[in-house]
Structure 1
Amino acid sequence: MNVTEAHVRRATDREGIHCCEVEVRTDDPAAPELLAFFGPSRDNDFDMLAVVNNDANREVDWYDNNLHQAFSDVSISLFQTSTMKTDWGRRETFKEQVLSYPGVRADIARLLDR
């Protein structure tokens, strides 16, 4: 899976952690649109806290209602191997592709006051 587009949507809180929500488009037909949440990390970069599947239909759900089943957490299943373990290399590659997309890292830093 390769990131084809990414942009920061907003700063938010997820499970009590102040973070940024990043809308991500990929070339993977099984996961074409995702939301990735990034928060501060100890190494002065950003940790990917969660990835959720974005199945919201903009024509029907134009007001961005994130309280329904269109947003399901795929953080584990997206990077899981056939032996049910996390493929950390794939996960880190995805994370770096998102953060390296033009403007994303700077926008997260600005919104998280870093």
Structure 2
Amino acid sequence: MNVIEAHVRRSVERDGATCGEVEVHTDDPQCENVLAYFSNSGDNEFDLVSIVRNDADFLTDWFDNSMHTAFEEISMQWFENRNTKTDWGRRETFKLQVLESGQVREYLHRLLG
């Protein structure tokens, strides 16, 4: 799966940490639209905290409702290898594709300062 486009939506709290919410469009037909959450890391970079599938149809469900059943945590299943362990290489590749898309990295620096 490759990132086609990504843009920062807003700052949100996830598990007690301030995160940047990034809307990501991919070439994966099963998960074309996902939300990726990034937090600051100690090395002036960002950690990929989680990925959420976003199946909401914004024509009929136009309000941003995080309690909606269309939002499903998929971080583990997306990057799981045959041994049911995290494929850190694939996860890091996805993270870098998102951060390098447009001005995502710059916006996250401003947002999370």
TM range (shorter): over 0.9
Residue 19 of structure 1 corresponds to 19
SS class of match (1:76): helix
Please tell me whether the aligned partners of residues 5 and 102 of structure 2 are also in contact (alpha carbons under 8 angstroms).
no
Give aligned-pair identity as a percent: 53
Which residue type is aligned with residue 99 of structure 2? L
- Residue type of the alignment partner of 2:29: P
The one-character-per-residue Cα deviations of 1:62-86 (angstroms, maximum 9, x if unpaired) are 0111112111100100000121011
Q: Which runs of 5+ in 2 are unaligned?
A: none
Aligned-partner SS, 2:37: strand
SS in 2 for 1:34: strand
- Give the Cα separation in 2 of the matches to 1:44 and 1:4: 25
Runs (5+) with no aligned partner, structure 1? none
Correspondences of 1:1-114 after superposition (within 5 Å): 1-113=1-113
- Runs of 4+ aligned structure 1 residues displaced above 4 Å come to none
Aligned-residue CA RMSD (Å): 0.6
Deviates more, 1:59-68 or 1:47-56: 59-68
